Amino acid sequence: MPTILKVNDLVTKFYTPDGTVHALNGISFQLDESETIGIVGESGCGKSVSMLSILRLIPQPPGKIERGEAIFDGRDLLSLPMDELRHVRGFRISMIFQEPMTSLNPVMTIGAQIAEPMIEHLGMTKDQATDRTVELLELVGLPNPRDRIADYPHQFSGGMRQRAMIAMALSCNPQILIADEPTTALDVTIQAQIVDLVNRLQDQLGMAVIWITHDLGVVARIVQRVVVFYAGYVVEAAQVKELYANPRHPYTVGLLGSLPRLDGKHSKLTGIEGVPPDMVEEIIGCPFAPRCLFVKDICKEKNPTLRDINGQHEIACWVDI
């Protein structure tokens, strides 16, 4: 399958009064056409910052993309002129944000917000965009969409707002959909509906999807490949079945050990001792070393790079477990 997005050595820092936050420390991964990948890891590990960096939505200052490239359709998004980048955002690459109440404009109607990118990018008239908005809201399962397009975000429930955000993201038939923890603020029933919705739409529309989450249960259901982040680094990447059956990085082993299982293999849940590193301080050695049960002397001195262990499974670790 052809690669649609390739990210190489992406480094992003935030220069704050308290010091320099090393948010991304050389992230590399790729996304193939029509593929769904999951980016997982603890809060603060760089999942969302990586996507915001690719689309150059990082506030500058205090943020700064220090180096790296994000190759999309043969061009580096990080060096594109801003007018060309605006044509990519929302048109060819769309993003569903974590909290729709803060992402939607409170003084614009839902219909106007969904129609705006179609008028901007596709050259539709207002009437055409309105008709397409109704179709999109129907597609994402919103009841009585024509009666609701004149409503404002505060008149929608959390699940309805998230469906509206998905409709907006799909309005221009993007090649890549980035879903940044879109179910975080929703109850379990609505979470399942949103996951099933995105999965179904991906099958129907054939777009590639990047699903950002800390919920490994969600990942197991919808993605083909998993990329594990820790402290601004990629520490493991593999096909989802391979990763769950044969995790090779101690951090991934810890994440999976904290999940309840239905097969009875692990009756007791395990946690990961310690806390993530302070991202203000530059990390020497492996970032997971202070919490790792398999730590060696070299782990404290030198950070391992990603290495391929069987053709489709990469880890950044000095230890074979």
| Cα separation, 315 vs 74, whole angstroms | 27
What pLDDT sits at residue 164? Answer: 87
Kindly tell me if the per-residue pLDDT of 30 is higher than 60. yes
pLDDT at position 225 is: 93
Q: Is the pLDDT of residue 261 over 80?
A: no
**Residues 248, 309: contact at Cβ < 8 Å?**
yes
Q: Quick: pLDDT tens for 122-140.
A: 888 999 999 999 988 888 7
User: Is the C-alpha dihedral spanning 212, 192, 199, 129 positive or negative?
Assistant: negative
- Of 16-30, 46-60, 150-164, the one with minimum mean pLDDT is 150-164
Spell out the residues 6+ positions from residue 50 whose beta carbon is closer than 8 angstroms to its own.
7, 10, 12, 24, 27, 39, 229
Q: What span, in angstroms and rounded, lies between the C-alpha atoms of 263 and 79?
A: 49
Q: What is the pTM of this model?
A: 0.86
At position 161, the amino acid (one-letter code) is R
For 82-90, what is the mean pLDDT? 86
Instruction: Report the pLDDT value the prediction gives residue 185, as an integer from 0 to 100.
Output: 62
Is residue 269 over pLDDT 70?
no
User: Between these two residues, 40 and 162, which has the higher pLDDT value?
Assistant: 40
Residue 84: strand, helix, or coil: helix
pLDDT (tens digit per residue) in 191-236: 777 778 778 878 877 889 999 987 787 788 888 999 999 999 999 9
What is the rounded distance in angstroms from the CA atom of residue 272 to the CA atom of residue 45?
15
Share of the chain above pLDDT 70, in %: 94
Q: What is the pLDDT of residue 266?
A: 55
Encode burial over 253-280: b for 16+ CB neighbours within 10 A, e otherwise: bbbbeeeeeeeeeeeeeeebeeebbebe
Residues, the chain, total? 321
pLDDT in tens, 277-286: 888 888 889 9
